[in-house]
Amino acid sequence: MNSEKGYIMSNPKLLTISGALRKGSFNRMLLAEAADAFGDAEVTQADLNLPLYDGDLEEASGVPAQVQTLASQIAAADAIVISAPEYNKGISGVLKNALDWVSRVEGNVLADKPTVVISAAAGRTGGETAQFMTLSCLAQLQVRLIPGAQVLVAASYEAFDDAGKLKSELDQNALNARMQKLRAEVV
């Protein structure tokens, strides 16, 4: 029940944000699984293929149109799920760049936005460090982080089957629980 609006939201808007750009990204696969686990929703995939943040560019021509689009998608979303790949034990430049740009848009569109961060990475820890760094940046942006058991998909290169489905029941169960928790926040 959304008490502010006074009605039950049956088809919430879910924005999925992948910190990896490549088409075959395992984080994108994980987000597709996350959207399935969330249930009925209007799902939008964010595009983080943005120019690098540059204060001179911002001063000369303002926030780029692609960033404005992303900010509008964030503003319109009822819930967000971010999947963070791990690069050199940290957040991907792509994701950090997007957060930096969005933080420059007038008003804080991320403030109080119900959000879950998950990750898939090649190493044994499933991107835990990247996830931790992402949560730290999001806390600064006053995002409403929905807590729960971490979703850390390790050995990403062998974690999904040919149809892009998670092979591990443990990962799937953790993802289901987390996404249902996110749904309960908004529906």
For binding to ligand FMN (CB under 6 A), which residues are involved?
20, 22, 25-27, 85-89, 120-123, 127, 156
Query: What is the full DSSP assignment across 95-123?
Result: HHHHHHHHTTSSS-TTTT-EEEEEEE-SS
What minimum distance in Å lies between the beta carbon of 123 and ligand FMN?
A: 3
In the bound state with ligand FMN, the residue whose beta carbon lies nearer, of 78 and 86, is 86
Closer residue to ligand FMN, CB minimum distance, 118 or 120: 120
By C-beta, is 71 or 133 nearer to ligand FMN?
Answer: 133
Q: How far is the CB of 174 from ligand FMN (least distance, A)?
A: 17
The two three-digit tokens of residue 151, written as one number: 């979703």
| Residue at shortest CB range from ligand FMN | 123
* Helices 169-186 and 26-38, packing angle to 10 deg: 50
Q: How far is the CB of 87 from ligand FMN (least distance, A)?
A: 4
Q: How far is the CB of 137 from ligand FMN (least distance, A)?
A: 17
**Contact partners, residue 164, CB within 8 Å, separation at least 6:** 29, 32, 33
**Residue 136 CB coordination number (10 Å):** 10
Give 146's DSSP letter: P
- For 41, 58, 87, 140, 149, the CA distances from 133, given in Å and listed in that order, are 28, 25, 11, 11, 17
* Closest to ligand FMN by CB, 6 or 24: 24
Smallest gap from residue 46 Cβ to ligand FMN (A): 14
- Nearer to ligand FMN by C-beta: 64 or 123? 123
